[in-house]
Amino acid sequence: MSHNERSMIPIGPYHPLQEEPEFYRLIVEGEKVVDIDVRIGYNHRGIEKLSEAKTFDQSIFIVERICGICSSSHPIACVQAVEDIAGIEVPERALYIRSIVQELERLHSHLLWVGLAGHFLGYNTVFMWSWKYREPVCDIMETVTGNRQHYAMMKVSGVRRDIEPEHVSYILKRLDELLPKIDMLKGAVLDDPVLHARLKGVGVLTKEEAINYSALGPTSRASGIPYDVRRDHPYAAYGRVKFNVITQEEGDVFAKAVVRILEMYESISIIRQCLDKMPKGPIDAKVKDVPPGEGIGHVEAPRGECFHYVRSDGANSPVRHKVRAPTYMNFPTFKATVIGQTVSDATIILAAIDPCYCCTERLAVVRPDDPNKTVMSAEDLIRLSQEKTMKIKNKMGIVC
Amino acid sequence: MTAHELIENLRSKFGASVKDIFEKSKKRLYVTIEPNDITGFAHFLFRDMGCRFNIATAVDSFDCFEILYHFSRDDSGIVITIRAKLKDKNDPHIDSITPIIKGAEWIEREMHELFGIEFDGHPNMKPLLLADDWPEGVYPLRKDFVPEQRDDRG
């Protein structure tokens, strides 16, 4: 292929291994990506429409199923929106439980991402470790909520299950065990000269572009924007605990990894503080009716702000329920980060915002002027990415 | 910046273009404006006031389509919602804010597909969500949508 020739690489859209399948078209000149187009909607389930046909209590369970990974973020945003309409005061203890569940979710989600990123880069040991140490977090979830995913913990005015005293010591013990493992992962990623060479300066999202695209969560924090719903719009128990908002200035893939890894320490610290400070008392309040009106709830999901708008006309179901997940705002930043980079870096750049890239099962290279299409698989894309890491290792004289 | 200062800024900049201000709580503001003024408000909030664009919501009300543009001031925890009412339900259109806020590109495309609202001046009005064979002129989030309409697909 000559270097001036433009080709289109469609990636996707089928096989929703994790979350949503998406369809990218990378326009490339040789190895260099010159344009990108994204098409979503392959997993469009009409949840906003469905929610209009459900009662306020039922719609919490519907939004919980938007995503298996953020399955406490959507329900919390949703119940907050309804509580905003009705002006409901949530009991203290329930607020603490909401924060605990949400931080556990952030822990398991970030561990999941570190593993996937490791896999894309050919660091399969990191992948195995990371997912292994994610297990205790899911175990804690199962103990506290009854479920490893889809916790079904939230309700308007509070939470559905209490955290029992015997669970507290169990959670603390598992977190104590987890901490050295995260130290190890942190060392494996942040002190590795190969990863520095591989990820620094790759897929840079500048601060200006992050603002223009209204990027969220670790994606924007890695570009030097210290925005975090937990601190800026305190909800649940976040106004009652101390934590740092982790930021980096560089905006590259490495910075996004640093933000996520350091955030895990903050999550553990928040859970410990919540368990320590959590007062005794009821876990929900009585709710009579939801009056006519409109409400907004937003939370800091692992990937960024999750935003819900709910309107009520006084009946028992919402007239309109708008859901905006964080990836919806982070996705379009690809236009700013992928262009000018090579195809072998595209995988990790697209993965760096933490979408569900595993959806990307199928990949074909199509030359517009060539009727004999070459079809590649997603494994080929990951292989390209892993080969680049190997090349860097060889250059550095590291034998694997 | 407090909610009060934000309101004062809006009033002094736009005067009579601000039709109504509803302070639901200290952290939630709803400002109704004339649809024609949307780009001015978006520019002022996003560029001059340093607000972040959260998202926009379209609502099919009885006598109009409402478009709610949610912005937030992250230093004071305020969410300010700009409400534009499009009275002509047969031909709803409003100026696109995508030229000012890149992050609005997708949501305007989404509202175009799901509600049939035209965004004048949108730079990239291509399909985003619905299937390629979705019938034209059928908007699933409108209140008069009946699921059977989907089956008209050829």
Domains in chain A (CATH in brackets) are: 6-43+338-395 (no CATH), 47-329 (1.10.645.10)
| Of residues B96, B90, B67, the one with CA closest to residue A320 | B67
The pLDDT assigned to A95 comes to 96
The pLDDT assigned to A310 comes to 96
- A133-180 residue pLDDT tens: 999 999 999 999 999 888 999 999 999 999 999 999 999 999 999 999
Domain limits, chain B: 3-149
B121 and B70 in contact (C-beta within 8 Å)?
no
- A65-102 residue pLDDT tens: 888 888 899 999 999 999 999 999 999 999 999 999 99
Residues facing residue B73 across a β-bridge:
B78
Question: Using CB atoms within 10 A of its CB, is residue B52 exposed (0-12), middle (13-18) or buried (19+)?
Answer: buried
The pLDDT assigned to A228 comes to 94
* A234 interfaces chain B, CB cutoff of 8 Å: yes
- B93-140 residue pLDDT tens: 999 999 999 999 999 999 999 999 999 999 999 888 888 888 888 999
- A267-322 residue pLDDT tens: 999 999 999 999 999 999 988 889 999 999 999 999 999 999 999 999 999 999 99
- Looking at beta carbons, which residues of chain A come within 8 Å of B48? none
Mutate to test the interface with B, among A214, A227, A308, A339 (most CBs of B within 10 A): A214
- B30-71 residue pLDDT tens: 999 999 999 999 999 999 999 999 999 999 998 999 999 999
Higher pLDDT, A358 or A69: A69
The pLDDT assigned to A66 comes to 83
Whether the per-residue pLDDT at A26 is higher than 90: the answer is no
- Name the residue facing A214 among B57, B75, B103 (closest C-beta): B103
Mean pLDDT of chain A: 86
The pLDDT assigned to B151 comes to 62
- Name the residue facing A329 among B77, B103, B128 (closest C-beta): B103
The pLDDT assigned to A110 comes to 94
Whether residue B55 and residue A324 make contact (CB cut-off 8 A), yes or no, is yes
| Of residues B108, B125, B129, B111, the one with CA closest to residue A41 | B129
- Looking at beta carbons, which residues of chain A come within 8 Å of B83? none
Report the distance separating Cα B27 and Cα A239, nearest Å: 15
The pLDDT assigned to A351 comes to 78
The pLDDT assigned to B152 comes to 58
Residues facing residue B67 across a β-bridge:
B58, B84
- Looking at beta carbons, which residues of chain B come within 8 Å of A309? 55, 57, 68, 70
- A170-214 residue pLDDT tens: 999 999 999 999 999 999 888 999 999 989 999 999 999 999 999
Taking the CA of residue A188 and the nearest CA in chain B, the distance in Å comes to 34
Weakest mean pLDDT among A2-6, A389-393, B126-130: A2-6
- A362-385 residue pLDDT tens: 233 333 444 444 555 667 777 888
The pLDDT assigned to B129 comes to 83
Mutate to test the interface with B, among A329, A331, A353 (most CBs of B within 10 A): A329
* A83 interfaces chain B, CB cutoff of 8 Å: no
The pTM (predicted TM-score) of the whole model is: 0.90
The pLDDT assigned to A21 comes to 66
Nearest CA in chain B to A319: B59
Whether the per-residue pLDDT at A19 is higher than 70: the answer is no
Whether residue B54 and residue A307 make contact (CB cut-off 8 A), yes or no, is yes
Nearest CA in chain B to A330: B103
DSSP secondary structure string for all residues of A138-188: HHHHHHHHS-SS----EETTEESSPPPHHHHHHHHHHHHHHHHHHHHHHHH
* A213 interfaces chain B, CB cutoff of 8 Å: yes
Structure tokens at A207: 């601060």
Whether residue B54 and residue A46 make contact (CB cut-off 8 A), yes or no, is no
- Looking at beta carbons, which residues of chain B come within 8 Å of A328? 55, 106-107
The pLDDT assigned to A302 comes to 92
Whether residue A324 and residue B127 make contact (CB cut-off 8 A), yes or no, is no
Taking the CA of residue A308 and the nearest CA in chain B, the distance in Å comes to 10
According to the per-residue pLDDT averaged within each range, which of A207-216, A349-358, B12-21 is highest?
A207-216
For chain B, report the end-to-end CA distance as a whole number of angstroms. Answer: 55
| Of residues A265, A102, A244, the one with CA closest to residue A190 | A265
Mutate to test the interface with A, among B74, B113, B132, B143 (most CBs of A within 10 A): B74
CATH number, domain B3-149:
3.30.460.80
